[in-house]
A = this chain, B = another copy of it.
């Protein structure tokens, strides 16, 4: 049914909007069906894909510039946590029939802004119509020296557990937006526009024993490390870095933080990084209070593949 559902004029305009974003030689200015890519010498490519759906990962009436940048950044956050330097991305867009050209123009402007900020470019993609909500799927490419990707696997008993930035701000932002509140802006901004910790990711190469980005919730994500590394992770609630007014237990399960959580064999002294716990023998993740007692939390876990 491809043919009859497309709107040629509109789709040509899209190509015109996106072609300027495809600045790498291998993208052929988006004039071909495919692109070519090679990792830099001595490196391999790190690839990751995330899909965002209007009404699920963002509000349909969020500013298009921010939607674009968030879609890109959730992928960049994965690259950051893997110690990769961003290179390229491909994007497929399923567009509802009521999407206007001005909306797309602002969306492309958002991509352009973040391409400049994070030093990557568009490699290709596909646009299609959908009777459903706007759906954005991005595959991002980064590079690491061969064999140096930071893994979820690698945490060992005795390791220390760290997290970057503050946790729970985006969760507060989401709660505010759901109540149609527009302040405090700080929290809403954190939800709408995550900041991929790319510099930190590069610094962690060879320093972190395991790492990932916090998207599903601090405890759920540390649970992924614990599971794959076959260890237990104990987090001290009182150590979780939170903004004023944010409850650390609530923050620990909020998600959308896009900070990096990692473990390290030796103590790490890096700006903007907080030690929050330790790796032990066993399984799973526990949250501890000041007395070292386990805090019961309704766990949230979301499998990725």
Contact = CB atoms under 8 A, between A and B. Distances in A.
Nearest to A8: B301
A146 B26 CA distance: 11
Contacts of A144: 36
A31 B130 contact: no
Given A56-B1, A255-B2, A304-B15, A92 B50 contact: yes
Given A131-B133, A216-B2, A217-B3, A32 B303 contact: no
Copies in the assembly, this chain: 2
A81 B47 contact: no
Given A131-B55, A144-B36, A305-B14, A49 B300 contact: no
Contact of A56 (B15, B90, B130, B152): B130
Given A137-B51, A153-B32, A126 B304 contact: yes
A123 B82 CA distance: 16
Contact of A92 (B51, B133, B300, B301): B51
Nearest to A83: B34
Given A33-B81, A149-B36, A174-B1, A128 B49 contact: no
Contacts of A81: 33
A94 interface: yes
A169 interface: no
A305 to B, nearest CB: 4
A57 interface: yes
B51 A302 contact: no
Contacts of A90: 47-49, 139
Interface majority SS (helix, strand, loop, mixed), chain A: mixed
B303 A8 contact: yes
Contacts of A256: 2-3
Contacts of A19: 305
Contacts of A78: 33-34
A46 interface: yes
Nearest to A47: B35
Contacts of A130: 53, 56, 132-133, 135
Nearest to A220: B3
B300 A8 contact: yes
Interface of A: 1-3, 5-6, 8, 11-12, 14-15, 18-19, 22, 26, 28, 30-39, 44-53, 55-59, 78-79, 81-82, 84, 90-94, 123-133, 135, 137, 139, 142, 144, 146, 149, 151-153, 174, 212-213, 215-217, 228, 254-256, 300-305
